Amino acid sequence: MNVGVGVVHRPACATALPLRRGRGRVQCSSSSSGHVSFIKDVAATQPPEHLHCLLKMLQTRGETVISPGARQGLIPLAIPLSQKNSGAVTALLRWPTAPPRMEMPVVEVRKHGVWLLAKNVDQYIHRLLVEEDANNSHETNGELFHASSEAGKKLYRMGDFADSQIANIDVYLLKKVGLFPDVLERKIMRHFEEGDDVSALVTGEFYTKKDLFPGFGRPFVFNAEVLLNVGRNSEAKDAARVALKSPWWTLGCKYEEVACIAQWEDEQIEYIKEKVTEEGRNEDLKKGKAPAQVALDEAAFLLDLASVEGTWAGSLERIAECYKEAGLNEIARFILYND
């Protein structure tokens, strides 16, 4: 099992992280300034330019903006933005070892991990504006557009969806805004509903294209389900095994669902449990793996194991220690931070 695949598992990118030395406690609030301070001083990365616009939009949509430090019970890589009435949390994802120039994705936090909402803040703002325009073209009072402020003016002109004469909003989003997992999955299911299995298979394969959703296993999971749907069980098994080379908290579903398609029982869980033992670490070191790499791998393994049950608290101390051992002190502090 090649567990080195996926952004969180790539220590070569660690040098791209700015490592600040300040350790002062950040006073977090539910304002945009609180989120900006948290991202700079705790998450140790650059805040998105239009984050304040997104926060205003989320609040206008009826979500409650929450403190970025309100992370108890959440996957420790999440920076909370807002909470829906259903309890679902919208957040930014802080990859520990993100490649240079990779922006923080917008995600929905779920029990076993995260669901990708958009690759970055601007893309999510753009999508929200298009959906508002399409769904309420004759009823909206423009509150969401007003809340989007300068970002809205930059990204979308009200009425563009109608002017495009594209009947389907999903088609518009894919053509004019960007690629989104849920939109692509709906497109594939529509192909099946129309009896066009070939187009469903082609789109399913496209979904897994390299660099479309780097670090996320969800595309491979869904492609495995697509292949199962047309009776290609062996190919589905292979696709599911590829999915499990990504961080398990990016699968978009429970680990067990993917392991079932992959025709794995508990052997992969047992394998990873062995890797995080002292014996497993020493074995990797004897093979010549750099100590920093071993520490980063262990952190990734521990996140995977925690995602199986969807409980993170018991692993936080050791995960943070692994990042310290790898020289990522700011990431360690971020992992442990809680209001």
Tokens (6 digits) for 297 = 């791998």
| Coil vs helix vs strand at 218 | helix
Q: Scanning the structure block, which residue is given the tokens 């925690």?
A: 306
Segment 183-211, tens digit of pLDDT: 999 999 999 999 999 999 999 999 999 88
Q: How far apart are CA 52 and CA 33, in angstroms?
A: 8
Q: How many domains does the chain have?
A: 1
Dihedral (C-alpha) 74, 78, 84, 87: value to the nearest 10 degrees?
-10
Segment 108-131, tens digit of pLDDT: 999 999 999 999 999 999 999 999
Q: How far apart are CA 148 and CA 96, in angstroms?
A: 29
Parallel/antiparallel/unpaired status of strands 106-110 and 89-93: antiparallel
The sign one gets for the Cα dihedral 135, 116, 201, 236 is: negative
Instruction: Give Cα 128 to chain centroid, integer Å.
Output: 18
Instruction: Classify the phi-psi angles of 113: left when phi > 0, otherwise alpha if psi is within -120 to 50, otherwise beta.
Output: left
pTM of the model: 0.88
| pLDDT of 306 above 60 | yes
Q: How far apart are CA 17 and CA 97, in angstroms?
A: 7
Quick check: is 275 in a domain? yes
Tokens (6 digits) for 23 = 């350790």
| pLDDT of 33 above 90 | no
Residue 5 is predicted with a pLDDT of 31
Higher per-residue pLDDT: 33 or 4: 33
C-alpha atoms less than 13 angstroms from C-alpha of 275 in its C-beta half-sphere: 24
Quick check: is 29 in a domain? no
Quick check: is 189 in a domain? no
Average pLDDT, the chain: 89
Quick check: is 114 in a domain? no
Residue ranges making up the domain that contains 309: 269-336
Segment 233-266, tens digit of pLDDT: 999 999 999 999 999 999 999 999 999 999 998 8
Quick check: is 286 in a domain? yes
Quick check: is 104 in a domain? no
Q: How far apart are CA 84 and CA 104, in angstroms?
A: 21
148-155 long-range contacts, Cβ below 8 Å, gap at least 24? Answer: 148/53, 148/56, 148/57, 149/52, 149/53, 149/56, 150/50, 150/53, 151/50, 151/53, 151/54, 151/122, 151/125, 152/53, 152/125, 155/122, 155/125, 155/126, 155/129
Instruction: Give Cα 220 to chain centroid, integer Å.
Output: 15
Quick check: is 251 in a domain? no
Quick check: is 310 in a domain? yes
Q: How far apart are CA 188 and CA 183, in angstroms?
A: 9
